[in-house]
Structure 1
Amino acid sequence: MNDQSLAAFFDDYLAAWPDAGKVVDCYAEPFTAARGGRLQLNPIRPDTQKFFERVLEAYRSRGFASARILRLESMPLGAHSAFATVAWAYLDEAGNTLWEWTFSYNLYMIDGRWQIVLQTLHEPPSP
């Protein structure tokens, strides 16, 4: 594992948006999302694709057109896994930042490709 390969993975991940059918190629089976105070297990690809179709619909309703990586930090977790934290800027058609979020990802090398096993949104504490 090296930072360059993870950086390349996240560049490919970024390029896959906004097509849920391409985004799912970056995710393992099963995949778990931790966001909104709950865990969502997506056992198979069609479940993951439906999950991201809903995510993209919600993003687009807020004016989302693209994203940009603000910061990427990673560390290896043994021979086949890694942990990465990515700060994202979500942009409108003009390239203006609509919002920023940070996610952490547990990744596993499957058949020579990084795949996301767990995605966790860094949510602020409730008031």
Structure 2
Amino acid sequence: MTSFTDFFTAYGRASLANDAEIIANCYAENFMAAGPSGNMTFKNDEKFTQWLEEMFKFNRKIGMQEMKVIKVETSPMGEYYTRALVRWGAVYSKNTSEIIEFEITYILYHVNDALKIIMYVSHENEEDVLKEKGIIP
């Protein structure tokens, strides 16, 4: 099975490369996303892939240049699940000298020697952080 750090490093690279297929493959057939403003459930289907394409477009528009894993802390949740707290670092063209950090907790399912995200919780409201840092108006 892929290490958790390798899994999220590949996820970050695929995000920068606008590779919806790789990102979608990181998720289970159904999953939940949550953050300070609420939560939603998603089906990993064509509609999700289209949403990813919109996110890639938004990230390009605001000048995202780098998305890297700063730290991954994991704890098992039985034999088939793991909680992973990931600290991400993003760099934007408006301020290339600053790494903007944010944390997301993921719940991953181990299936057929692969990892699948079944849920994630964003600790910060990313839009608020980007506004605070002057990346978006």
TM-score range, shorter chain: 0.7 to 0.9
Q: CA deviation at 1:14?
A: 2.1
Query: How far apart are residue 95 of structure 1 and its match?
Result: 5.5
Matches within 5 A, 1:46-61: 46-61=46-61
1:86 to 1:25, Cα distance in 2 relative to 1, 3 A: same
Structure 1 segments unaligned to the other structure (5+ residues): none
Q: Is 1:69 matched up with 2:94?
A: no
**Residue matched to 1:12:** 10
Identity across the alignment (%) = 25
1:115 is aligned to 116
Structure 2 length normalisation: TM-score? 0.76
What is the CA-CA distance between 1:83 and the residue it aligns to?
0.3
Deviations for 1:60-113, whole angstroms, at most 9, x for unmatched residues? Answer: 222102211111111111111100011111123695435221111000012220
CA distance in 2, matches of 1:55, 1:40: 16
In the alignment, the residues of structure 1 paired with residue 11 and residue 31 of structure 2 have an alpha-carbon distance, to the nearest angstrom, of 15
Residues 40 and 47 (structure 1), Cα distance of their counterparts in 2 relative to 1, 3 Å cut: farther
SS of alignment partner, residue 17 of structure 1 = helix
Aligned residues of 1:64 and 1:98 also touching (Cα < 8 A): no
**More displaced, 50-59 or 97-106?**
50-59
Tell me: CA distance 1:68–1:42, structure 2 relative to 1, closer, same or farther (3 Å): same
Q: TM-score, normalised by structure 1?
A: 0.81
Superposed displacement of residue 122, structure 1: 0.3
Structure 1 pair 55–92 and aligned structure 2 pair: CA distance change class (3 A): same
Mapped pair 1:23 → 2:27: no
Greater mean alpha carbon deviation, residues 14-23 or residues 63-72: 14-23
Whether the 8 Å contact between 1:31 and 1:48 is mirrored in structure 2 is: no
The letter for the 1-side match of 2:92 is D
